[in-house]
């Protein structure tokens, strides 16, 4: 088994940095701060977007969990029509909170989203993509290399 090469770092000054495979190409939209990352040729892009929190952030990831469930209900389900199953999990790493949605669209197709924020921020970041299981393994590795500054 080969080691995943996450040698390239993309950073938006004062906001975040993310480590990606060295072959990654990306498009940054100055207007809304979104990024579309092409982390593997011939696959769907991995999107990174920033949204304001609907209510003041509190300790823990309960607001992120609500936003994750809303993304599943208002984003993934309408786009896919139906799903086979889904889960929402929460956690924190070094004071950064996340909530992750994993939706099985078909036997071979998945959609995954991770929402990330910190207690001192009034926004959260949404990273999401869809594809087959091998692509999503790569995407989860990239998600885990997203750092808020």
In a domain, 36, yes or no: yes
In a domain, 66, yes or no: yes
- List phi, psi (to 5°) of 20: -135, 165
Distances in Å between the Cα of 41 and the Cα atoms of 18, 26, 30, 67, 142 are 19, 12, 24, 30, 15
- pTM to 2 decimal places: 0.86
Range of the domain at 139: 8-148
**Sorting pLDDT into bands at 50, 70 and 90, what band is 4?**
low
For 46-82, what is each residue's pLDDT tens digit? 999 998 876 655 545 678 888 899 999 999 999 999 9
70: left (phi over 0), alpha (psi -120 to 50) or beta: alpha
CA 53 to chain centre: 16
> How does the average pLDDT of the chain come out, rounded?
85
Total domains, the chain:
1
Inside any domain, residue 19: yes
Is position 1 within any domain? no
Give per-residue pLDDT as tens, 76-89: 999 999 999 999 99
CA distance 55 to 45: 29
Evaluate whether residue 2 is within a structural domain.
no
CATH of the domain at 141: 3.40.1000.10
Do the domain assignments include residue 44?
Answer: yes
Decide if 143 is inside a domain: yes
Let me know if residue 3 belongs to a domain: no
């Amino acid at each position: 088994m080969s080691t995943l090469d996450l040698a390239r770092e993309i950073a938006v000054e004062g906001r975040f940095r993310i480590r990606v495979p060295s072959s990654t190409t990306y498009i940054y939209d100055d207007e809304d701060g979104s990024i579309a990352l092409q982390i593997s040729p011939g696959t769907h892009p991995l999107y990174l977007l920033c949204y304001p929190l609907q209510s003041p952030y509190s300790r823990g990831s309960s607001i992120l969990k609500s936003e994750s469930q809303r993304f599943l209900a208002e984003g993934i389900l309408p786009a896919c029509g139906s799903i086979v199953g889904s889960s929402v999990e929460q956690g924190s790493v070094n004071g950064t909170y996340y909530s992750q949605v994993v939706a099985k669209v078909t036997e071979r197709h998945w959609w995954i989203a991770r929402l990330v924020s910190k207690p001192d921020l009034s926004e959260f970041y949404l990273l999401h993509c869809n594809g087959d299981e091998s692509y999503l393994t790569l995407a989860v590795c990239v998600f885990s290399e997203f750092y808020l500054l």
